[in-house]
Amino acid sequence: MTDWNYKTGHRSVSQLQTMASCGLSYRLERVDRVPTRTAAWFTQGTAVHEAVEAYERSGRTMLEEDILMAYDAAWDENMAKQEAKQPDHSMWIVGGKKSREKDIEQRRELGRQQTIDYVDLNPPGADFRPIEMIPDEYGVEIGFELDFDGVKVVGFIDQIREMEGRDDLFPIDVKTGTKTPSDAYQMATYKIAIEEMTGRPVNYGYWWMCKEGGLSKPIDLRNHTRDVVAGWYKALDTGIKNGVFLGNPGDACFTCLVKPHCSGVRA
């Protein structure tokens, strides 16, 4: 989004998480806009998300072969975009001692298996499934916009699910990585967005962890009120506008996209 201005533009969950983790990383990527590193796991995550989205949008009627075709098409398209955006292969992050090419090959196959596993574990007719926002339109990849006293927050929710016999709704976010998120920023933001969109309560959310092949433990969102979430984004907005970008060198530096440009990175 080339016309986005870091001082006057909208805020998002990813901005909040980046600033909370390392403000220097935020500044380098979003303010200075230095060239960033990339990794095959981004394409893996995008392809899994697009295939899962297609399956859920079909009302879980899509055949496995068609789902895998959707995965492969998404992989090819997004890998081409990554190659075009970062043609310098030395700027690709690879875990372990694998070559970049081997990493790409393995992650493509891992993503295919994660997609198959998701479909197998979320069959048609299951009680816990995306809601129908309107007939034949399911709560998948739902866009939202929140306004916290002039601070605009926009984003997309992977899934909004319901459970038979309950009025409350559940945000679901699909994760292809190895670590379960430890903060509540994303889920709490989704809670407020869903409640404002639907008028129905949100008390708990879940990560779908592809590595484990199932839902995380429930994330308790009952104490994350609108005022609490609004306070996060107002503080974020104030910090950005005042140029408060504090570095936080640590273990996350290994996967930081702007590490080559950072003067504060841990040795």
Q: What tokens appear for 159 in the block? A: 């899934």
In this structure, are residues 148 and 233 in contact, taking their beta carbons and an 8 Å threshold?
Answer: yes
Angstrom distances, CA of residue 240 to CA of 19, 45, 109, 237, 246:
9, 28, 40, 5, 11
Q: What is the pLDDT of residues 216-235, one digit of tens each?
A: 999 999 999 999 999 999 99
pLDDT above 90 for 264: no
pLDDT above 50 for 1: no
Q: What is the pLDDT of residues 180-217, one digit of tens each?
A: 998 999 999 999 999 999 999 999 999 999 999 999 99
Q: Which residues contact 242 (CB under 8 A, 6 or more apart)?
A: none
For the chain, the distance separating the N- and C-terminal CA atoms, rounded to the nearest angstrom, is: 33
**CB neighbour burial string for 193-210, b if at least 16 within 10 angstroms, e if fewer:** bbbebbeeebebbbbbbb
Confidence grade of residue 2 (pLDDT, cut at 50, 70, 90): low
CA 65 to CA 53: how far, in whole Å? Answer: 15
pLDDT above 50 for 178: yes
Contacts 24+ apart (CB under 8 A), 94-102: 94/39, 94/40, 100/40
Q: What tokens appear for 95 in the block? A: 């875990």
In this structure, are residues 164 and 199 in contact, taking their beta carbons and an 8 Å threshold?
Answer: no
**Three-state DSSP class for 131?**
coil
* Host H or E run for residue 159: strand 151-163
Furthest CA-CA distance within the chain = 55
Q: What is the DSSP string of 198-257?
A: HS--B-EEEEEETTTTEE-SPEE-TT--HHHHHHHHHHHHHHHHTT------SGGGGG-T
CA angle 177, 44, 160 (to 5 degrees): 70
Q: What is the pLDDT of residues 56-65, one digit of tens each?
A: 999 999 999 9
CA 34 to CA 256: how far, in whole Å? Answer: 13
This prediction has a pTM of 0.94
Of the candidates 243, 219, 213, 257, the one whose C-alpha atom is nearest the C-alpha of residue 6 is 243
In this structure, are residues 150 and 121 in contact, taking their beta carbons and an 8 Å threshold?
Answer: no
Tokens 């199932």 label which residue?
214
In this structure, are residues 104 and 89 in contact, taking their beta carbons and an 8 Å threshold?
Answer: no
Q: What is the pLDDT of residues 30-66, one digit of tens each?
A: 999 999 999 999 999 999 999 999 999 999 999 999 9
